[in-house]
Amino acid sequence: MTMRASRIVGLGHHVPARRVANAELEQELGLSQGWIERRTGIKARRWAAADEAVTDLAIEAASRALAQAKAQIGEIGLVLLATSTPDHLLPPSAPLLAHRLGLSCGAIDLTGACSGFVYAMTFADGVVKSTGQAVLVVAANILSRRINNSDIASAVLFADAAAAVVLAPSARDDVGVLGTSLLSDGSFYDMIAIKAGGTRNPDLSGALAEDRVIRIKDGKVVFEKAIKLMTQSAEEALARANVTAAQIDRFIPHQANARIFDRVAENLAIAPARTLRSIEEFGNSSAATIPLTLSVAAERAPLADGELLLMAAVGAGFTSGAIVFRVSDR
């Protein structure tokens, strides 16, 4: 049966136990006190233990979302895992995650860098509408294993986290994903990269140390391009949804850098009070930041029927995307 819309029925998140405050990194990297917060808005981040893998974080977040959704195993038709740090290069990690959750439905990884969750939600909405089944969307990353201490621009940003959303069919046709925008600009392909491990440079053991970790080629260019693409994708999604920025109840930007998403919110004329933030405590966990921010916020103030959400992200590649989503309680 073809459904007309989707709705969020479950949210969950999980972060590792180890909290790394700025003072620890500033001392290690030779930075002055307060340098990181002034430039990024980050005060602390979480880093995974040595024996933790992405599916370990993902299963905790997914289990919480499924419990909140009161979802039965047979109701889930697909598991989408948005990650840039899978357990292994091959096979994909999503089937293992599904298995550990007791699911035998479809399961696949999506590698969309920081925009991965927005893309996953777009695909999930289509699956819900075409199949009438619920979709579990999980975003998880362990970026602490790929931190480059010689590149200050990236070393202070990245964190580990997982968050999950359960999308289910709605009885209404005026809710769920109202408008989307998915963009890319491959001319900036190498601005944020881990060069080793792919088919261009497969030999990790022989690769230069700097090619095995995250490298930001030009921080100023990344900063300006991120603002431009996030603003553009958000404006397009709003236009396609026939919604104005003034109508948005909660703006959930990718938590890349507070200065970036504050500029985007300013460009869109969205008040600071409606912009959700988690970067201060949790840093930048790539695709996981949007669902993490939403899940944390919903614990304090649950999503209400009719609320309008705007999610926007930009990531390596460059990829960008935005979604306008209307919340429904049925």
Q: What is the mean pLDDT of residues 191-214?
A: 75
Cα(161)–Cα(29) distance, integer angstroms? 23
Does position 173 have pLDDT exceeding 60, yes or no?
yes
> 15 and 161 in contact (C-beta within 8 Å)?
yes
Q: Which of 13, 105, 141, 254 is catalytic?
A: 254
Is domain 6-169 classified as CATH 3.40.47.10? yes
- Residue 202 reports pLDDT greater than 90: no
Give the span between the Cα atoms of 165 and 57, in whole angstroms. Answer: 14
Query: For domain 176-326, which architecture applies?
Result: 3-Layer(aba) Sandwich (3.40)
DSSP characters over 264-305: HHHHHT--GGGB---HHHH-B-GGGHHHHHHHHHHHHS---T
Quote the Cα angle for 105-107-109, to 5°: 170
Instruction: Give me the mean pLDDT over the 205-210 stretch.
Output: 64
Strand 6-14 to 160-169 pairing: antiparallel
- Asked if the domains 6-169 and 176-326 are classified in one and the same CATH topology, the answer is yes
Q: What is the pLDDT of residues 18-58, one digit of tens each?
A: 999 999 999 999 999 999 999 999 999 999 999 999 999 99
- Of the candidates 42, 64, 16, 46, which has an alpha carbon nearest to the alpha carbon of residue 291? 64
> 13, 114, 141, 257: which one is catalytic?
114
Domain map (residue ranges) of the chain: 6-169, 176-326
The rounded distance, in Å, linking the Cα atoms of 325 and 209 is 42
**Catalytic residue check, 14:** no
Give the residue from 111, 120, 84, 115 showing the smallest Cα distance to 226.
115
Q: Which helix (H) or strand (E) holds 14?
A: strand 6-14
93-136: pLDDT as tens digits: 999 999 999 999 999 999 999 999 999 999 999 999 999 999 99
The per-residue pLDDT for 66 is: 98
Mean pLDDT to the nearest integer, 53-80: 96
Q: What are phi and psi of 82, to 5 degrees?
A: -90, 110
Catalytic residue among 22, 148, 257, 284: 284
Q: Which residues of 280-314 are buried (b: 16+ CB within 10 A; e: fewer)?
A: eebbbbbbbbbbbbbbbbbeeeebeeeebbbbbbb
Looking at residue 298, its pLDDT comes to: 98
Rounded CA separation 62/234 (Å): 27
Kindly state the percentage of the chain with pLDDT values over 90.
84
Percent pLDDT > 70 in the chain is 96
